[in-house]
A = this chain, B = another copy of it.
Amino acid sequence: MITVKHVAQAAGVSPGTVSNTLTGKRPVSAKTRARIFQAIEELGYKPNLLARSLVNRRSHFIAVITSEIDQFGPSRILSGIEAQAEELGYSLLLSLMRDPSQADVESTITNLVARGVDGIIWAVHQVGNNRRWFTRERRKKLPPIVFVTMEPKPGFTIINSNNRAGAALAVNHLIDTGCRVIGHISGPLDWWEARERLTGWRQSLAQAGLENTDDLVARGSWSAESGEAALHQLLSQRSDIDSIFLGNDQMAIGALQAAHRRGYTIPHDLALVGFDNIPESRYLWPPLTTIHQGLFEIGKVALQTAHDAIEYPDEFIAKQITHQPELIVRESTGVVHSSGQA
């Protein structure tokens, strides 16, 4: 292995001067610098970043803890995080939680801290009480932590999507296209996001003076399979439903299939709106109207925020950033009645 010493010897200087040349923190004369660069080139020297981290107390590692990476949401967020990490010169340490609800936070976090990470991005979906580990006292001893997709809480830095507003977009669009009995297939209600979307559905209907009773709601588990079952359940509860807002696109896939099996024509017999705008949603039959969240952007912002907290620890104060989702209109909902066009 080639070290600074070898380079220094080859260039006829001291190791310190080599370091100064590389970091640029102290001036080095043009000609010695040229000699050093030449020696580096000839020897193929690369600085050992581990050693550098040790003395600098800055590893340029950021840990990402997430789960269900084969789902659309988490993978999209991770992509955004990685893109920004590359931009800012960080390497990503990836940890996956197998069961987000009973994660062994303690061992995961302490291991990452022992690795010397500069910051942590916690992108595990909020399920049940799985963020209770992060007490104020514990966080004080940790590097900066940015939370993604979590309920707002004072003192926490959180990057979020406005799930209620997304639900409102979906429900209001259904109302605009003439629907009057609007059901909801929710995600599991121990998930914060599922509760938010349910609340958004409920509030929008209340504002419009439409029904929002419990028999208009069925509960799924995010999977296509559960969407299928929930659709059957919902229609048996209330046969007069003319449209459904679904908690995510996966469940919408299952619901579409179930609707086909029942011989429904969509959107004529039943209008459907999903949530997430997964790539496939555009190619379902019929193409799915859905809510787009800028998850890639959320990932980028999360890493940028972690960087800010690392780089300027004194100025940085806990903050919350919320992204607004947007409506993507496709063929699983009807033409707008009130004034606009589809």
What is A's interface to B at a CB cutoff of 8 Å? 46-51, 53-54, 59, 64, 69-70, 72, 75-76, 78-79, 82-83, 86, 91-96, 98, 110-116, 223-225, 227-228, 250, 253-254, 256-257, 260, 279-280, 282-285, 287
In the complex, the answer to whether A228 meets B283 with C-beta atoms within 8 Å is: yes
10 A-B residue pairs with CB within 8 Å: A47-B114, A48-B114, A50-B54, A51-B54, A70-B279, A91-B112, A92-B94, A94-B94, A223-B279, A250-B279
Chain B positions within 8 Å of A69 at CB level: 69, 75, 78-79, 82
In the complex, the answer to whether B257 meets A114 with C-beta atoms within 8 Å is: no
Task: Given A93-B91, A116-B48, A283-B225, decide whether A70 and B75 contact each other with a Cβ distance below 8 A.
Answer: yes
Nearest chain B CB to A240 CB, angstrom units? 25
Chain B positions within 8 Å of A93 at CB level: 91-94
Rounded to whole angstroms, the CA-CA distance of A225 and B284 in the bound complex is: 11
Which of B76, B92, B225, B260 has a CB less than 8 Å from the CB of A285? B260
Chain A interface main SS type: helix
Chain B positions within 8 Å of A48 at CB level: 54, 114, 116
* Residue in B closest to A77 when the chains form the complex, CB atoms: B70
Rounded to whole angstroms, the CA-CA distance of A227 and B95 in the bound complex is: 35
In the complex, the answer to whether B228 meets A257 with C-beta atoms within 8 Å is: no
Rounded to whole angstroms, the CA-CA distance of A38 and B254 in the bound complex is: 56
Nearest chain B CB to A116 CB, angstrom units? 4
Chain B positions within 8 Å of A260 at CB level: 285
In the complex, the answer to whether B285 meets A257 with C-beta atoms within 8 Å is: yes
In the complex, the answer to whether B284 meets A253 with C-beta atoms within 8 Å is: yes
Chain B positions within 8 Å of A78 at CB level: 69
Nearest chain B CB to A58 CB, angstrom units? 11
Chain B positions within 8 Å of A110 at CB level: 46
Known: A50-B50, A257-B287. 12 other contacts (CB 8 A): A46-B113, A46-B114, A49-B114, A51-B54, A69-B75, A70-B72, A70-B76, A86-B96, A91-B95, A91-B112, A94-B94, A228-B283
* Residue in B closest to A60 when the chains form the complex, CB atoms: B115
In the complex, the answer to whether A224 meets B283 with C-beta atoms within 8 Å is: yes
Which of B54, B91, B283, B287 has a CB less than 8 Å from the CB of A111? B91
Chain B positions within 8 Å of A228 at CB level: 283
In the complex, the answer to whether A96 meets B114 with C-beta atoms within 8 Å is: no
Rounded to whole angstroms, the CA-CA distance of A46 and B223 in the bound complex is: 40
By Cβ-Cβ distance, the 5 closest A-B pairs, closest first, are A224-B283, A70-B75, A50-B116, A94-B94, A92-B94
* Residue in B closest to A108 when the chains form the complex, CB atoms: B86
Chain B positions within 8 Å of A113 at CB level: 46
Task: Given A54-B54, A228-B283, A257-B284, decide whether A115 and B82 contact each other with a Cβ distance below 8 A.
Answer: no
In the complex, the answer to whether B70 meets A96 with C-beta atoms within 8 Å is: no
Nearest chain B CB to A264 CB, angstrom units? 11
Rounded to whole angstroms, the CA-CA distance of A341 and B75 in the bound complex is: 39
In the complex, the answer to whether B82 meets A94 with C-beta atoms within 8 Å is: yes
Task: Given A79-B70, A94-B92, A285-B260, decide whether A116 and B225 contact each other with a Cβ distance below 8 A.
Answer: no
